[in-house]
């Protein structure tokens, strides 16, 4: 029962991604400056996702001497991170917009921390490989 309620709730949230006008049915219209700031944050997350995707392609194309397994791992991690970032951007935009309309606190998320740690670990791994001369 709890699982199906969770799926139903998640499905309703995803439907809002494709019909943002439905958000207007909730609460009152916030100050437009806040909605526009929310949109700028959304666009910043999309840029971050695109940068991660670009990094994935760069690793694949410009590190040919890197061990194939490592190169594929780094590439996939960066590409998946970029995709997650884009999906998280739209989800966070909807959640924030709904919270503002309802007069609630903005939602908190651990995603930026997880993303920063993943990128940091990946960067350290690449630095070590460069220092060892294994990136060719």
List the domain boundaries for the chain: 2-131
Arithmetic mean of pLDDT over the chain: 87
pLDDT at residue 64, as a whole number? 84
pLDDT at residue 93, as a whole number? 93
Angle between helices 111-131 and 32-62 (to 10 degrees): 30
- Is 0.85 surpassed by the pTM of this model? no
Question: What backbone torsions phi and psi does residue 67 show, to the nearest 5 degrees?
Answer: -50, 130
Q: What is the DSSP letter of 18?
A: H
Among all chains, which residue has been given the structure tokens 């007069």? Answer: 103
- Tens of pLDDT, residues 53-103: 999 999 999 888 888 888 999 999 999 999 999 999 999 999 999 999 999
3-state secondary structure at position 27: coil
The pair of structure tokens assigned to 31 is: 């100050």
């Amino acid at each position: 029962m709890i699982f199906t309620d969770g799926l139903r709730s998640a499905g309703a949230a995803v439907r809002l991604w494709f019909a943002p006008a439905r958000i207007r049915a909730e609460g009152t219209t916030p100050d437009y400056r806040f909605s526009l700031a929310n949109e700028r944050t959304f666009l910043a997350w999309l840029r971050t996702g695109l940068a991660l995707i670009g990094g994935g392609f760069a690793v694949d194309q410009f590190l040919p001497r890197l061990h194939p397994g490592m190169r594929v791992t780094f590439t996939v991690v960066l590409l998946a991170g970029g995709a997650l970032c884009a999906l998280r951007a739209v989800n966070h935009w909807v959640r924030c917009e709904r919270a503002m309309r309802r007069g609630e606190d903005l939602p908190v998320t651990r995603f930026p921390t997880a993303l920063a740690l993943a990128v940091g670990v990946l960067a350290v791994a690449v630095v070590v490989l460069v220092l060892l001369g294994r990136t060719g």
